[in-house]
Amino acid sequence: MIKTLSKSIRQYKKLSLLSPLFVIGEVIIEMLIPYLVGVLIDNGIMKGNMGYIQKYGLLLLVLTIVSLILGASASYVSAHAAAGFAANLRKDMFYHMQDYAFENIDKFSSASLVTRLTTDVNNVQMAYQIIIRIAVRAPMMLIVSVIMSIIISPRLSLIFLVIAPIFVIILGLIIKSAYPYFPKIFKGYDRMNQVVRENVRGIREVKTYVQEKPQIDKFEKSSGFIYKLFSTAQKIISLNALVVAAVLNIATLAICWFGAKEIVGGNLQTGQLVSMFSYSNSVLFSLNILAMIATQLIISGASGRRIANVITEKPAIENPRKPLKTVTNGEILFDHVNFKYDPSDKALALNDINLHIKPGETIGMIGETGSSKSTLVSMIPRLYDVTSGAVRVAGHNVKSYDLKTLRDNVAMVLQKNVLFSGTIKENLKWGNENATDEQVIAAAKIAHADGFIREMPDGYDTMVEQGGNNVSGGQKQRITIARALLKNPKILILDDSTSAVDTNTEREIRQSLAKDMPETTKIIISQRIVSIKDADRIIVMNHGKIEDIGTHEELIKRNKLYSSIAEFQEENGK
Ligand SMILES: Nc1ncnc2c1ncn2[C@@H]1O[C@H](COP(=O)(O)OP(=O)(O)OP(=O)(O)O)[C@@H](O)[C@H]1O
Ligand SMILES: [Mg+2]
């Protein structure tokens, strides 16, 4: 994990190293001061030597100022380095996530990816700042204070020797028992974010179905889960404070007791005991800080692992080594294709699919919901990869194509499509960023979107809200079809893409597609017979299998499922 994360430090390496250097300087000076104060008391004040007092007084002043400057620099440098490191981490995660296949996203869940990009990165940023500053300062202080104490009084220093191991052991036990809570807490964050995202996204449904109360309950449940775990973990961690306080008091008492004896015995001077107190305070203070750092590191350790998992996740679908850069035609072949979404699934989502589609052919596809229509077509642009068998486009396995080439040539209008915030024109240009205005308009015309776009307040420059909330369902579908057309694809897949468009407009879109894109292979998935009955062939899907393929007339005669759907829809005037 540390190796993965540290790759993101990059240009902040220098700053990160500078911080501990400043800290080391600061601590050395800080630790020298009590010693000098001791010397000043014993040789200056006790002996009434004014020259000595002045000289040492000035030295102390200068040292204090230098130490302050070093301290402030360390704090600035470490904050800057940590913020930079965090920015790099976010960037690396986001870049890497762009290569994820659907399978990878399914694995993490999108809510979890957002938590990892935000909360987890913040935790690591905080920990990093601590590591390069305080985590250097505290052990340094500890070591220097112990050394100085040994110089002053080796016998009194034995107290630390007894106390430190006890302290470390108890601290270790506390950390060990608190650690397992944090990965669970972060999972809780993921769940809570999921609830919030769902709520905000589906706010229209929530209102329509008056689901506010159940939503609040759901939120409180996930939030309460985090609270419960956090407070249990904090209880364990707060034992830290108890241990530290106990150790602190015992040590102070011991130094008083043995220190007094040493003075009476003539082995120690008053000034030396004053310095000794100072150092023992520093020792205990740094132990206290170390305990706090340990807590922070526990939390961020869990976060760090979550970030590293995102960065090291292998994209399920990758570009081949020597990719094919052109798709010559729109021929499609499914050769004994089986597919499961999850290897542990019992049932196949696609069961022995064999299918040959000629270039330029128009294929309709119908079947009950959940019969794997969307699953079947998502194999063509490699949104998912087959579990066994092969999908070929223009004679080549889809896995041998450059991914961008393949997806540019296989345009798919997804069933659950979204528009992004930006103008309509910008959204359309996702299909082809170099498209001219004429091309954009031509595509919009085929998709029968040109008319309503022109009627909008700013025409093609009208802003689309996030998710496309300010355009109607049917308008959104037509914009997404136009967006796909701009790719000028060899294969066009419309997955239930005209469900919200009225039947007349839909027929016109089909006619335009047939007229303007004759060479493009078209696969049209629909629940409506009228949308597909003119297709060259129609596939009837049933439970992950191709039940039948034929023309409308053939299927009406021989396929029970098809003819019953047709009959039902005719009766209901659909
Ligand atoms: N991302 C996914 N992870 C796991 N299972 C999935 C996933 N997507 C779909 N499924 C499952 O695969 C099966 C086929 O789903 P698919 O979406 O292909 O059906 P469909 O025929 O397109 O249905 P609809 O007409 O409702 O769009 C369903 O049982 C569904 O639950
Ligand atoms: Mg579907």
* 488 has pLDDT over 60: yes
Q: What is the pLDDT of residue 168?
A: 82
Rounded to whole angstroms, how far apart are CA atoms 552 and 530? 10
* 287 has pLDDT over 90: no
Relative to the CA of 376, which ligand 1 atom is closest? 18
Q: Looking at 101-105, 178-182, 204-208, which range is the least confident one?
A: 204-208
* 159/84 same-domain check: yes
* 371 has pLDDT over 70: yes
* 239/342 same-domain check: no
* 517 has pLDDT over 80: yes
Q: How much is the average pLDDT of 381-386? A: 94
For residue 88 and ligand 1, the question of a CB distance below 6 A is answered with no
Could you give the 3-state DSSP secondary structure of residue 315? coil
CA dihedral 292→297→300→304, nearest 10 degrees, is 170
Tell me which ligand sits closest to the C-alpha of residue 540. 1
Domain boundary among 248, 277, 312: 312
* 37 has pLDDT over 60: yes
26 φψ region: left (φ > 0), alpha (ψ -120 to 50), beta (else):
alpha
Indicate whether 184 belongs to any domain: yes
For residue 415 and ligand 1, the question of a CB distance below 6 A is answered with yes
Domain boundary among 258, 280, 312: 312
Could you give the 3-state DSSP secondary structure of residue 333? strand
- pLDDT tens-digit series, residues 51-66: 888 888 899 999 999 9
For residue 375 and ligand 1, the question of a CB distance below 6 A is answered with yes
For residue 373 and ligand 1, the question of a CB distance below 6 A is answered with yes
Q: In whole angstroms, how far apart are CA 48 and each of 54, 172, 206, 275, 332?
A: 11, 49, 83, 19, 101
* 286/346 same-domain check: no
* 162 has pLDDT over 90: no
* 177/70 same-domain check: yes
The residue range of the domain holding 67 is 7-312
* 231/336 same-domain check: no
Residue 365 Cα to ligand 1 middle (Å): 15
- pLDDT tens-digit series, residues 96-137: 999 998 889 988 988 999 999 999 999 999 999 988 888 888
* 300/392 same-domain check: no
Q: How much is the average pLDDT of 398-424? A: 90
Rounded to whole angstroms, how far apart are CA atoms 495 and 541? 14
Cβ atoms of 464 and 470 within 8 Å: the answer is: yes
Rounded to whole angstroms, how far apart are CA atoms 70 and 64? 10
Indicate whether 323 belongs to any domain: no
* 278/357 same-domain check: no
Rounded to whole angstroms, how far apart are CA atoms 518 and 333? 20
Indicate whether 170 belongs to any domain: yes
Q: What is the pLDDT of residue 119?
A: 92
Please count the structural domains in the chain.
2
Relative to the CA of 544, which ligand 1 atom is closest? 14
- pLDDT tens-digit series, residues 84-98: 999 999 999 999 999
For residue 369 and ligand 1, the question of a CB distance below 6 A is answered with yes
Q: Please give the sequence-ordered ranges of beta strands (E in DSSP) within 340-409, or none if there are none.
A: 350-357, 362-367, 388-393, 396-397
Mean pLDDT comparison of 161-175, 277-291, 549-563, highest-scoring range: 549-563
Residue 364 Cα to ligand 1 middle (Å): 18
Indicate whether 320 belongs to any domain: no
Indicate whether 38 belongs to any domain: yes
Indicate whether 84 belongs to any domain: yes
- pLDDT tens-digit series, residues 413-443: 987 778 888 899 999 998 888 999 999 999 9
Q: What is the pLDDT of residue 573?
A: 63
* 352/471 same-domain check: yes
Domain boundary among 284, 312, 340: 312
Rounded to whole angstroms, how far apart are CA atoms 268 and 65? 30
Q: What is the pLDDT of residue 574?
A: 56
Residue 370 Cα to ligand 1 middle (Å): 5
Indicate whether 146 belongs to any domain: yes
Q: What is the pLDDT of residue 164?
A: 79
* 461/537 same-domain check: yes
Relative to the CA of 527, which ligand 1 atom is closest? 25
Question: Which residues face 333 on adjacent strands?
Answer: 356, 392
For residue 374 and ligand 1, the question of a CB distance below 6 A is answered with yes
Q: Looking at 175-179, 387-391, 405-409, 517-521, which range is the least confident one?
A: 175-179
For residue 366 and ligand 1, the question of a CB distance below 6 A is answered with no
- pLDDT tens-digit series, residues 298-310: 888 899 999 999 9
Residue 324 DSSP one-character state = B
Cβ atoms of 327 and 406 within 8 Å: the answer is: yes
CATH of the domain at 391: 3.40.50.300
CATH of the domain at 161: 1.20.1560.10
* 151/183 same-domain check: yes
Q: What is the pLDDT of residue 172?
A: 84
Question: Contacts from 141-146 at CB under 8 Å and sequence distance 24+?
Answer: 141/27, 141/30, 141/31, 141/282, 141/283, 141/285, 141/286, 142/282, 142/283, 142/286, 142/287, 142/290, 144/27, 144/28, 144/31, 145/31, 145/279, 145/280, 145/282, 145/283, 145/286, 146/279, 146/283
Residue bearing the CA closest to ligand 1, atom 18: 372
* 159/302 same-domain check: yes
Which of 345, 371, 383, 415 to mutate to test ligand 1, by most ligand atoms within 8 A of the CB atom?
Answer: 371
Residue 367 Cα to ligand 2 middle (Å): 10
Relative to the CA of 342, which ligand 1 atom is closest? 4
For residue 103 and ligand 1, the question of a CB distance below 6 A is answered with no
Rounded to whole angstroms, how far apart are CA atoms 362 and 521? 6
* 222/360 same-domain check: no
- Burial (0-12, 13-18, 19+ Cβ within 10 Å), 186: buried
Cβ atoms of 292 and 161 within 8 Å: the answer is: no
Relative to the CA of 371, which ligand 1 atom is closest? 21
Residue bearing the CA closest to ligand 1, atom 10: 341
Residue bearing the CA closest to ligand 1, atom 29: 370
Residue 339 Cα to ligand 1 middle (Å): 12
Computed over every residue of the chain, the mean pLDDT equals 90
Indicate whether 143 belongs to any domain: yes
